[in-house]
Amino acid sequence: MTQNIPRTQSWIGELPGKLRMIDQTRLPEEFVEIDCESVQQVWDAIKRLSVRGAPAIGVSAAYGTVIGVQTETNLSRAGFNQKLNEVTDYLASSRPTAVNLFWALERMKNVAAAIPDASPADVVERLLSEARTIEHEDREMCAAIGRHGESLMPADGGVLTHCNAGGLATAGDGTALSVLFAASATGKKIHVYADETRPLLQGARLTSWECLQRNVPVTVICDSMAALVMREKKVKAVVTGADRIAANGDAANKIGTYSVAVLARAHGIPFYVAAPSSTFDLSLASGNLIPIEERAREEISHSFGKQTVPDGVAVWNPAFDVTPAELISGIITERGVIAPVNTETVAAMIDAAASAQASHST
Amino acid sequence: MTQNIPRTQSWIGELPGKLRMIDQTRLPEEFVEIDCESVQQVWDAIKRLSVRGAPAIGVSAAYGTVIGVQTETNLSRAGFNQKLNEVTDYLASSRPTAVNLFWALERMKNVAAAIPDASPADVVERLLSEARTIEHEDREMCAAIGRHGESLMPADGGVLTHCNAGGLATAGDGTALSVLFAASATGKKIHVYADETRPLLQGARLTSWECLQRNVPVTVICDSMAALVMREKKVKAVVTGADRIAANGDAANKIGTYSVAVLARAHGIPFYVAAPSSTFDLSLASGNLIPIEERAREEISHSFGKQTVPDGVAVWNPAFDVTPAELISGIITERGVIAPVNTETVAAMIDAAASAQASHST
């Protein structure tokens, strides 16, 4: 069923090939795909937010690395290595704070470093294979989150989500949206309520578009309407993504998520977080230690191409908030569901995952 | 101090005179006043929302009536009466659901009807006097709400408000904002947090502008940030206006007010409503009986001239929500503060007010 859904990005051809991606800056007004055939084009696409979302950026950077070196097979291996470093350094400069970007580029460089005697042509083949693996792993992660989460969704009813934790941010079906799409695919009658998500409107623009693509009924509301939607019993559950989760389960996510969690508790509605195990940062004991980025005034004061706040008036624009673990009914990971959420249950799932990964990689 | 604040509207000259008003559609980008010298201009100003807010519309309609007949003093009294009816019928067609509009026009017609033998010139003088009285009474109402409410405000701290219950909606300092401005005028260090108030952004555009005019510190936030503002203890109280209040104290107000009330309760912060006694509708036993208007999809999907929701996606746009009395710490009226809020305390204040008005008018 999902084969008709446009992919956030895909590799076209073999070698040399190109990276096709949805230009997310044009949504929802237009559906436009762009083909990147140079590393400059990939860099621009990441920089301009044509592709966004940590996993999706990682996949784009991996394929971007292939694009940057795929026609350099006539170089000596030393020359090729130098070119590879230039390409990865350049791509790393596109979004200086994107952890998945650096992680993916590092993984690509390690592939080349592991086969120092191989020819440039052979290295390029291995790099393409690694990029495909990164994409594949991300898709599997999304699918596993969907499988673990779908049983928590109502058989028939509304589910509220905030921001876009969807396929557009990943190589697969997303995290929170993967849960909703998986529930819908099993025959559950899910109606998505999408908070528009001020200031950048990812819910209005992207989440609703993804639901439309998959024929999952969706209604967009302003963020301030979530409480009324709950009071009128239009939703039976809430699912959001997360950007970073502390060791005790406190979860940082798009600004407004904490508000939704408090409202859900007040209305007796379960509130779930869907996120891969890579989102956990066990070095932070609690969410109080998660730094909250404050973003530009203009995102609020001039966000629709029109000035909406007078000059001289202060604006506060925190990009994230932290939802305390006690408000979270469960965290849905690719390994299973953490519930109840506390330091012990997080450690049981995430430490185990880390050991499993460690033993797998040896 | 407030004499330097531009008035929402004011009568310029004597007879013939004109009505000057702030064009609120141009705020916050530009401060523009428009002078209405014809009844057509007043009608347009109300229709285009250059002036909005129930009390302010009533005042404009009263002065608009004067403008419509002030040069008709050469007519016979019968001809003048006919002209007066044409003018008030026409003005009534500008905002068909605005109760204060009809109330003000009816009051103007009653003035003329009470002096059937007076000359048209004398009637015009009485009409101008009545319009000034309506404006004056509204200003007094605002001031009284401010006096009663200011003692509830913190000596030093943030106060959150939602939408615009300010001077731009009245002839005076507004209702909720009157409380804040009065507290500030007594020397309290009030910092206003203004929810931007999607979809039409009256908080971002108008409330912040009013605070700026009065040198009251203000910070605009997205509606979804109110919970974080409370969690971080940036605000010590919430004050909003109301559009209609039932006999038990349940209060309908701009969509998002209920959300703020639930969040305030969860964070242990008092939530006040400021509204004149004319806002109460004692024929409604509870807020469940207050009809909630649903407004156009485009206010959310195409606000500010840019499409933000894909074609084909449903949007829900309730204009109001109802905050149950049990979440309201007090209702600040021009007669005094109702607290706690329930059917008995509302009846004690509002029935008493009605008797007082009745005895005053005899």
The whole-model pTM stands at 0.92
Residue A228 has its nearest CB partner, among B228, B301, B321, at B321
- pLDDT in single tens digits along all 362 residues of chain B: 445 788 999 999 999 999 999 999 999 989 999 999 999 999 999 999 899 988 899 999 999 999 999 999 999 999 999 999 999 999 999 987 677 899 999 999 999 999 999 999 999 999 999 999 999 999 999 999 999 999 999 999 999 999 999 999 999 999 999 999 999 999 999 999 999 999 999 999 999 999 999 999 999 999 999 999 999 999 999 999 998 999 999 999 999 999 999 999 999 999 999 999 988 999 999 999 988 888 899 999 998 778 999 999 999 999 999 999 999 999 999 999 999 999 999 999 998 655 444 333 33
Q: Which of A37, A11, A16, A13 is nearest to A121 (CA)?
A: A16
| SS3 of residue A274 by DSSP | strand
Cα distance between residue A137 and residue A58, in whole Å: 12
Q: Which of B222, B203, B207 is nearest to B173 (CA)?
A: B207
The verdict on B79 touching A (C-beta cutoff 8 Å) is no
CB contact under 8 A, A258 and B231: yes
Cα distance between residue A281 and residue A76, in whole Å: 41
| SS3 of residue B337 by DSSP | strand
The verdict on A210 touching B (C-beta cutoff 8 Å) is no
CB contact under 8 A, B262 and A258: no
Residue A190, token pair as written in the block:
């899910």
Least Cα separation, residue A303 to chain B (angstroms): 9
Q: Which of A318, A209, A204, A177 is nearest to A257 (CA)?
A: A318
Whether the pLDDT of residue A98 is over 90: the answer is: no
Enumerate domains of chain A plus CATH numbers: 9-143 (1.20.120.420), 146-361 (3.40.50.10470)
ipTM value for the complex = 0.91
Catalytic residue check, A351: no
The verdict on B209 touching A (C-beta cutoff 8 Å) is yes
Which pLDDT tens digit goes with each residue over A173-224? Answer: 999 999 999 999 999 999 999 999 999 999 999 999 999 999 999 999 999 9
Instruction: Specify the range with the lowest mean pLDDT, choosing from A65-69, A96-100, A225-229, A334-338.
Output: A96-100
Q: Which of B279, B204, B196, B282 is nearest to B241 (CA)?
A: B279
Residue A199 has its nearest CB partner, among B222, B301, B307, at B222
Residue A348, token pair as written in the block:
């049981």
Q: Hey, of A259, A271, A301, A303, which one would you mutate to test binding to chain B, going by the most B CBs within 10 A of its CB? A: A259
Cα distance between residue B172 and residue B148, in whole Å: 15
How far from chain centre, in Å, is Cα A33? 19
Active site residues of B: 243
Instruction: Specify the range with the lowest mean pLDDT, choosing from A35-44, A108-117, A296-305, B184-193.
Output: A296-305
Tokens 């008995």 belong to residue: B344
Burial A183-192 (b: 16+ CB within 10 A, else e): bbbeebebbb
- Measured between CA atoms, the residue of chain A closest to residue B308 is A205
